[in-house]
Structure 1
Amino acid sequence: MTDQNSFAVLFEQHRPRLRRLAERMLGATAETDDVVQDVWLRASAAGVDDIDNIGGWLTTIASRACLNVLRARSTRGEIPIDDDGTDPVVERDPCGADPLEHAQQEDAVGAALTVVHEQLSPAERVAFVLHDSFDVPFEQIADLLERSPDAVRQLASRARRRVRSADVAGTRPARERRAVVDAFFAAARGGEFDRLVALLSPEVELRIDQGLSATALIRGGATVASRALMFATPGAVLTPVLIDGLPGVVVTIGERAVSVMAFDVDGDRIAAIDAFVGPARVAALTLPR
């Protein structure tokens, strides 16, 4: 049986991680200390005799406490209210606009990096922080958020796109990122396998969202390049857009939008591609006119 003193020593071993989690979720505020204290009170009252994974258990308690704080903030209008987390924001790409207008947007997006984390909904922030920073499985996060693992995966993906778009756009001109995307489609249409591989990170991920929880994940430069060649359509019309701030395209065949693709460009290579595929899935998105 674990006595209170022994548990106190055990808790102190986990305190730095719990505090780090709370800071990632809530920011460096007084609420961070309140969450850690709340975890201590709840855990010490419950006891740990029947707990096999104390670290995971404490993480779950801390996550629930953070989620309560985030939801309280959302009711006060301080952060966005939860949405379903599945649909990205698709906007007109200003890369072809007036240079001054474009430069002003770049400055604004760069500055937004400092606040973009605060703009995530509670569910997006929980999914993103727990999975990307603390390696918590989507299945476990799904239990916490009372959603399906696929829905949680989409929440994390959308949050990741928002954070990365602010980071990348603030440090790399959008025209350069767009040039990498244009080169990708040119190589695909030209059947240039080696060129495609050179444009893709070796660890690139292609996430294909067909709706109805049908999400596929393809990894590796050669595999993604082969997929791009297989589905390249010379007659398709590509309309440049921004998708959650990342460079992307709307693919239209015969005046019908069939897919929307977002590209996470890291340096001169594509690190990740999010593809929303099929007329039904695309019809669910709000596209710029």
Structure 2
Amino acid sequence: MADHAVFERHRRRLWGIAYRITSSVSDTEDVLQDAWLRWQALPDDRALEPRAYLTTVVSRICYDRLTSARARRETYVGPWLPEPLVAAREPAPGPEEHAALDESVGFALLTVLERLTPAERTAFVLHDVFEVPFPEVAEAVGRTPDAVRALASRARRRVRDERPRQTVDRAEHRRTVEAFLAAVTAGDLDTLVATLDPDVVWRSDGGGAVGVARVPVLGSEKVARFAGGLVRGLDPAGTRVEVLDVNGAPGIVFADPASARAAVLAFTVHAGRITGIDCVVNPDKLRHLGLLPV
């Protein structure tokens, strides 16, 4: 039996790979459980390089899952957004306030990755994010090294061309999100519009379980009114509203136990204005966060 301690040593890296390929916390947990069972059944002398072996196993499982998931996502009700990662609390002020945002888990990048083929996405995540050599990437997706090199190159071009521009200044991003929240909660439409880029895009993921816009909402006036509707009817005394890290950047978490409504908002900010808002309200995608009582 392979050593449990060795698997645990690599768990954080494996989790990061799986999430970036699948954009799903639940799938990531399932992938790691599957990989652990395979590792547990492996004779001690079979994996001379555990990190490389486990990376290949996890990537291959993710690649297979992503391939089978594409058909389901094409029939998904409304926009399909990632299952959000929410930090327990905002990091303390310090030098990191001015550090670049972690784009490798940001909604802006993950949304672009959704438009890639499973092979392109896997190749890009493994090579460009985790610096896995092409021969190992090839083993994970069942292609030749030259083929996965081409896959990663195509993916890289699409990411470069389609990823929206955004600030790398964490403090600016947070100030903009806080201004948006203050305007929404105060019902100040004019100030709310001022926080938004004229061409802002709002995407809602309700998965058919929650009544939200099934197509993107475009433009600052429409988005401002839509955002105001999100908080309308919430219990002011019992609703939790916080600015927390969502996928590596300041976002907003709403949770109202009285109405059993919860939402996680991720923001794209550029030049001091919000250019994109991704709002996840699908209960299945928020369950892992424990925002509402079971």
TM-score, normalisation: structure 2 = 0.46
Higher relative contact order (CA 8 A, sep 6+): 2
